Amino acid sequence: MHISKLLLIFPAFLASVSDAHPLAPYTTFETLPSAPRGWKEVSNRAVDLSTPIKLRIHLTQQNVHQFEKALIDMSTPGHSSYGNHMNQAQIDDILRPHEDTTTAVKSWLESKGFGNELSFRNDWIVVSTTIGKAESLLQAKYKVFRNSETGKDVVRTLSYSIPRNLHSSVALIQPTTLFGSTSAMKSTILRVEDPSVLKSAFLSKAKLNTTGIDAACQSSITPDCLADLYKYKDYKPVKLANNILGVNGFLEQYAQNDDLSKFLKKYHPNAKNATFNCNPINGGKCTQHPSEDFTEANLDIQYTVGASNPIPNIYYSTAGRPPAVDLDPNTNEPYLEWLEYMLDLKDEDMPKTITTSYGDDEHTVPLSYALKVCNMIGQLGARGVSVLFSSGDSGPGDDCTTKNGEKRFVPTFPATCPFSTSVGGTFGVQPEKAVSFSSGGFSNYFARPDYQDSAVGSYISTQADAAAYRNYYNASGRAFPDISAQGSRFHVFVGGYDQLVSGTSASSPAFAAVISLVNNDRIHRGEKPLGFLNPWLYTVATEKKGIVDITSGTSKGCSRSIPGAGWKATTGWDPVTGLGTPDFSILKDL
Ligand SMILES: *[C@@H]1O[C@H](CO)[C@@H](O)[C@H](O)[C@H]1NC(C)=O
Ligand SMILES: *[C@@H]1O[C@H](CO)[C@@H](O)[C@H](O)[C@H]1NC(C)=O
Ligand SMILES: *[C@@H]1O[C@H](CO)[C@@H](O)[C@H](O)[C@H]1NC(C)=O
């Protein structure tokens, strides 16, 4: 009797002590089986343990589902709270971590001898320390890894642990396991050509018989082609102080004034004096050095400024890389740095539309990091911002064999975040068709949101591709892209010369410019900006033909592991062109 009673009581007693005590036993919090594809450990290069590192410990938020529901409601046309965007204080009140969460994490850090600094929104803690001390705090082993494509080294750990009782209090700790793909955060530009490849077609000013658009737009894209095709040529936006169009730049890509000015003079003489402001973040720069290869930055800014003039454009230049071996002081990942900066902006400084032409293979982004970044993209949506990302340039995927030999298509993040609007690519104007590199597919991290149920559900249950590729994708995942725009052979000035640039990197700024014009018109009429677009795109925008369905063309990818793989564009939503391309003349009045 006595013995059995003791046996019953003793484990219960132990468990209650370890749950309350800050020094409960450590258990693994996050682990990768090995470095992601494209990264190899450099075994002969030791990590200097005295290297400074800034750990950010993100605390678990409260009421995440309540917040997401509020975001969807305020973004769904016809809902009683449609357009009731929030300010950051309201969002913070919903999501702020519970006091006990903060206290538990702080006392753990203090018991280990770490001073720490709470962010002013109280949702993350920064610990400025060294790699050696971070290793002992997190029971981690930082090693040097090299990217096989770029030759760049980063310091990362494949696994880290925290006390068991804190697992529910911590959302993520970085930098730890985040590598980024072989093309980590790289511009998704596919190809650059010299315009001399265009020969006579380029010169043809003849009008196409069904669309009335210049025949030259079949072979290369200028701002006039987009204005004709997406029907905003005759719209004259008025300058409003509170409708800013934001363009995101990472990876030391700097938009150039000289190139913009040459571009506007040649292709957009009515806007030839238009400029942009550059806003540095996290030590980012606004360098003017026209002879360098800033293709991505120039493409993005030339197509937003050109189409949206006189709407003010801001180029957000965010620095930051994984912690470098060579004592790079910028140790934070750029998406988090950028999002923190944006969410701290006052309402009047917040752009209403933002385009980003950077992304990673989803499986190379740790789940905890993807969830956090996506939640913050959702917060931008709740502030009334439309956030667009290019979908990527590898069709269903590039390298489609997983580490354990399985064949799988490869989705792109943040395009797979359900609160981002993902933009695929098209080419040609009569008809406009899917371009083969346009990435699309299904997330393995994020479930399909309700707003996609009808469009994507019907694609999956009726299309031959959906059945044929069933083993290569996750049918319950968030499907992307949402919409598309031209992505092939854009005239862009780079280093003083006219070049032809292709990629969904072009599609996202092209679509964002149209959204910025719609926002301009709405705000001018005293209405709310569009904010998070998707519930609107999947309902009224499509039903009222403000989105034009693209029904021909096929994507291509996975050539080494799944020969012939690619998604066909079809009637309705498809994983190449999403719902289709914009018609401003209709979108403006919805
Ligand atoms: C437009 O021109 C194409 C060939 O250039 C032709 O096949 C098509 O029938 C024409 N359509 C109309 C409506 O004239
Ligand atoms: C551009 O600026 C010049 C010099 O300030 C001015 O004379 C010209 O009218 C402007 N052009 C346009 C199209 O705004
Ligand atoms: C498929 O997607 C669901 C929903 O996001 C997810 O829970 C599941 O883990 C995914 N499956 C695979 C094999 O990735």
Instruction: Kindly write down the DSSP assignment for every residue of 421-476, as one continuous string.
Output: EEEEEEE-STT-EE-TT---EEEEEEEPPGGGHHHHHHHHHH-HHHHHTGGGS-TT
pLDDT score for 33 = 82
CA 411 to CA 445: how far, in whole Å? 10
Copy the structure tokens of residue 472: 């290569």
Q: How far away, in angstroms, is 268 Cα from ligand 2 center?
A: 13
Question: Do 157 and 191 reside in the same domain of the chain?
Answer: no
What per-residue string of b and e applies to 488-526 under the rule 16 or more CB within 10 Å gives b? bbbbbbbbeebbbbbbbbbbbbbbbbbbbbbbbbbbeee
Helices (H) and strands (E) in the chain, counts: 17, 26
Residue where the block lists tokens 């032809």: 500
| Assigned domain for 91 exists | no
Question: Do 432 and 498 reside in the same domain of the chain?
Answer: yes
| Assigned domain for 205 exists | no
Question: Do 43 and 7 reside in the same domain of the chain?
Answer: yes
- Give kind and range of the element (H or E) at residue 248: strand 245-249
Q: For a substitution probing ligand 1, which of 209, 217, 218 has the most ligand atoms within 8 Å of its CB? A: 209
Question: Do 153 and 258 reside in the same domain of the chain?
Answer: no
Question: Do 247 and 143 reside in the same domain of the chain?
Answer: no
Integer CA distances (angstroms), 402 to 126, 453, 472, 545, in order: 34, 28, 11, 40
Per-residue pLDDT tens for 488-525? Answer: 999 998 888 888 888 898 999 999 999 999 999 999 99
Number of domains in the chain: 2
Question: Do 405 and 441 reside in the same domain of the chain?
Answer: yes
| Assigned domain for 88 exists | no
CB 358, CB 248: distance < 8 Å: yes
CATH for 260: 3.40.50.200
Average pLDDT over residues 552-574: 96
3-state secondary structure of 301: helix
Q: Any residues with Cβ below 6 Å from ligand 1, and which?
A: 209-210
Integer CA distances (angstroms), 486 to 372, 506, 549, in order: 31, 7, 13
- The reply to whether ligand 2 has any atom less than 6 angstroms from the CB of 272 is yes
* Residue 135 belongs to domain spanning: 3-61+97-174
Decide if 296 is catalytic. Answer: yes
3-state secondary structure of 67: helix
CA 472 to CA 392: how far, in whole Å? 18
Question: Do 356 and 426 reside in the same domain of the chain?
Answer: yes
DSSP string, 148-194: TTT--EEEE-SEEEEEGGGTTTEEEEESSS----TTTT-B---EEE-
What per-residue string of b and e applies to 420-432 under the rule 16 or more CB within 10 Å gives b? bbbbbbbbbbeeb
| Assigned domain for 86 exists | no
Average pLDDT over residues 320-331: 42
For residue 141, the Cα-to-chain-centroid distance in whole angstroms is: 29
Question: Do 109 and 149 reside in the same domain of the chain?
Answer: yes
Question: Do 567 and 510 reside in the same domain of the chain?
Answer: yes
CA 448 to CA 412: how far, in whole Å? 15
Decide if 357 is catalytic. Answer: no
pLDDT score for 576 = 98
Average pLDDT over residues 304-318: 89
Question: Do 152 and 282 reside in the same domain of the chain?
Answer: no
Whether residue 202 has pLDDT greater than 60: no
In which band, very low, low, confident or very high, does the pLDDT at 67 lie, cut at 50, 70 and 90?
Answer: very high
Q: How far away, in angstroms, is 586 Cα from ligand 1 center?
A: 26
More confident residue, 334 or 354: 354
Decide if 362 is catalytic. Answer: no
Question: Do 190 and 55 reside in the same domain of the chain?
Answer: no
- The reply to whether ligand 3 has any atom less than 6 angstroms from the CB of 442 is no
Whether residue 142 has pLDDT greater than 60: yes
CA 520 to CA 527: how far, in whole Å? 10
Strands (E), 481-558: 483-486, 490-494, 497-502, 547-548
3-state secondary structure of 487: coil
- The reply to whether ligand 3 has any atom less than 6 angstroms from the CB of 476 is yes
| Assigned domain for 404 exists | yes
Whether residue 32 has pLDDT greater than 80: yes
For residue 434, the Cα-to-chain-centroid distance in whole angstroms is: 21
- Contact partners, residue 469, CB within 8 Å, separation at least 6: 396, 409, 565, 567
Amino acid at 166: L
CA 590 to CA 582: how far, in whole Å? 13
Average pLDDT over residues 545-564: 96
What is residue 345's DSSP assignment?
S
Per-residue pLDDT tens for 226-245? Answer: 999 999 999 999 988 889 99
Question: Do 21 and 153 reside in the same domain of the chain?
Answer: yes
Whether residue 319 has pLDDT greater than 80: no
Closest CA to 123 of 188, 219, 57: 57
**Choice among 30, 296, 337, 482 that is catalytic:** 296
- The reply to whether ligand 3 has any atom less than 6 angstroms from the CB of 402 is no
CA 51 to CA 308: how far, in whole Å? 45
CB-CB neighbours of 197 under 10 Å: 11
- The reply to whether ligand 2 has any atom less than 6 angstroms from the CB of 265 is no
| Assigned domain for 230 exists | no
| Assigned domain for 82 exists | no
- Indicate yes or no: pTM above 0.75: yes
**Choice among 505, 507, 508, 561 that is catalytic:** 505
CA 586 to CA 230: how far, in whole Å? 10
In which band, very low, low, confident or very high, does the pLDDT at 254 lie, cut at 50, 70 and 90?
Answer: confident
Closest CA to 492 of 315, 302, 253, 272: 302
**Phi-psi category of residue 121: left, alpha or beta, with phi > 0 → left and psi -120 to 50 → alpha:** alpha
Residue where the block lists tokens 């410990």: 57
pLDDT score for 257 = 86
**What count of residues does the chain have?**
590
Q: How far away, in angstroms, is 273 Cα from ligand 2 center?
A: 6
> Residue ranges for the binding site for Ca(2+)?
549-550, 572, 574
CB 28, CB 176: distance < 8 Å: no
| Assigned domain for 77 exists | no
